[in-house]
Structure 1
């Protein structure tokens, strides 16, 4: 009789600190259900952001085609006025943006800037540009457009920073934005012989790569033999140097903006696909747990009925 009472007391689930198996299953199912709900909400957000980025990409590509004409005309002018004066003092202008959720697009220009500062002539970035633009000093001054690349470069080359710009490119960049940046660069106390612009080059709707564009300074233009033929005044040379810098910055801004929208659309597309796969996995896990809980309850009911 005593043994029978002991056995029945040990079989009770109401022991202090213990929980019945059904309660544990219900808690687990509740956690899975909450996680399913959160992942579904994330999927809705990423799909909406993908649609918005797709719409903005079409506008950005149209602006890029118009803005690239400025850069091509600027490059053609400098291609016909080679300078005999070396330009050892380089000013780096890094083009990025303030927004994230667009993959590694900001990291690409940051890595390209660090490679160029290390005089890595054999790097893909240096191979895509002229050799003189890649061979620069480690202590070259840097100006950054955008908070994302600023935060990445601040850890390694923060001492080289001279100016930083933000709130540019929230929408499609305009020539007024580029002119404002160029005006602040010219009015700064930084002395340079040429400006090296590091930006993302638009390859296709799914790919981009870091590239550099060099713009000659006022002194380099004055020393150019081809440019001396026109006998321009000092003010005209200064205005041309500032205008060409604004042209190059504008071309880099619109191309970088198109790359950003393309990368954001691809990132949101991948995030939506990952959310869909996670929802399917969690739904299967939830169904299995719910089926196991129901089976345990049926076993308890049948066992109790059999005992009666």
Structure 2
């Protein structure tokens, strides 16, 4: 029981701090909002951790496929390097840029890097055409360079690319009506598990291959130049798609790892805020109980 001397001072302090009823009700609402927010962030953390594990598993297979695909692309490049093949130059010849992206997101700025590279290049060559592999870069480039896009492909990046996929894309590109001086494939080059960079690969036209200074040393007939050009294009596309897929899985793993860490930090902050708000609610209820008990004794 409280002494009669302490009751007036306690009553005055309690009335000053607990006179409005609405703030206490608002505190209860805020506590529920914080609890719901904390539950939501914990669910997001579970999702990001699971996606990180899935991306880590897929990255191992993607790196293996990337290593195998390099044999195709590097072999074609070695032939053209020894033949000293160069792209044709002329005002009437256009260049075609093939952007190797995918349809999936949640992998950091891997697609934005390709789009920025293409935008810088198109600022210097505004008449060039663009073929986009994947919906992500298509959406980004359509806003700034939509008039340059002549062909696009969807459904890219769902699984590890195969040579059959690259061959099908190369067939569609070969059917374009424009006679291009060269075809440049832009892809994300796998530097290591933490970094990648937009890199171009040159795919030469039939005239450029036939006009190579040292091409006669390979003893190719002119009748097979068209097939060789399409095969080299398919090799380069396969290399670009496989290496880009490995970069995407690596970037997604890193992005989900960072998201999980950020979610953990937010959980700690909201947990502290929840504890402080709950303590404030308990303190307010105790003040009301003591005030009611003191008032009932008078």
The normalised TM-score by structure 1 is: 0.86
Q: Secondary structure at the match of 1:168?
A: coil
C-alpha deviation, 1:235, in angstroms: 2.9
Counting only pairs closer than 5 Å after superposition, residues 3-82 of structure 1 correspond to structure 2 as 19-82=21-84
Native 8 Å contact 1:85 1:224 kept in 2: no
Asked if residue 246 in structure 1 is aligned to residue 234 in structure 2, the reply is yes
Tell me the equivalent position of 1:108.
Answer: 113
Instruction: Name the SS of the counterpart of 1:118 in structure 2.
Output: helix
Give how far 1:168 is off.
Answer: 2.2
CA contact (8 A) 1:141 1:190 kept: no
| Matching residue of 1:8 | none
Match of 1:286 in 2: 274
Partner of 1:155 in structure 2? Answer: 143
Q: Distance in 2 between matches of 1:87 and 1:228?
A: 21
Deviations 1:158-199 (A, max 9, x none): 111111011122100000000001011111212202111111
Question: How far apart in 2 are the matches of 1:174 and 1:83?
Answer: 27
| Structure 1 unaligned regions, length at least 5 | 1-10, 12-17, 120-136
Deviates more, 1:170-179 or 1:160-169: 160-169
Indicate the SS of the match to 2:214: helix
Verify the 8 A CA contact 2:96 2:183 in the aligned structure 1: yes
Matched, 1:92 2:97: yes
Q: Which runs of 5+ in 2 are unaligned?
A: 1-14
Alignment of 1:269 with 2:257, yes or no, is yes
Deviation of 1:25 after TM superposition, in Å, equals 1.0
**Residue-by-residue CA offset, 1:10-48 (whole Å, 9 max, x unaligned):** x8xxxxxx8533211110000001101111110000000
Report the aligned-residue RMSD. Answer: 1.7
* Separation in 1, partners of 2:27, 2:87: 78
User: Contact conserved, 2:87 with 2:204, CA < 8 A, in 1?
Assistant: no
Superposed displacement of residue 286, structure 1: 0.5
Indicate the residue corresponding to 1:132 in structure 2: none
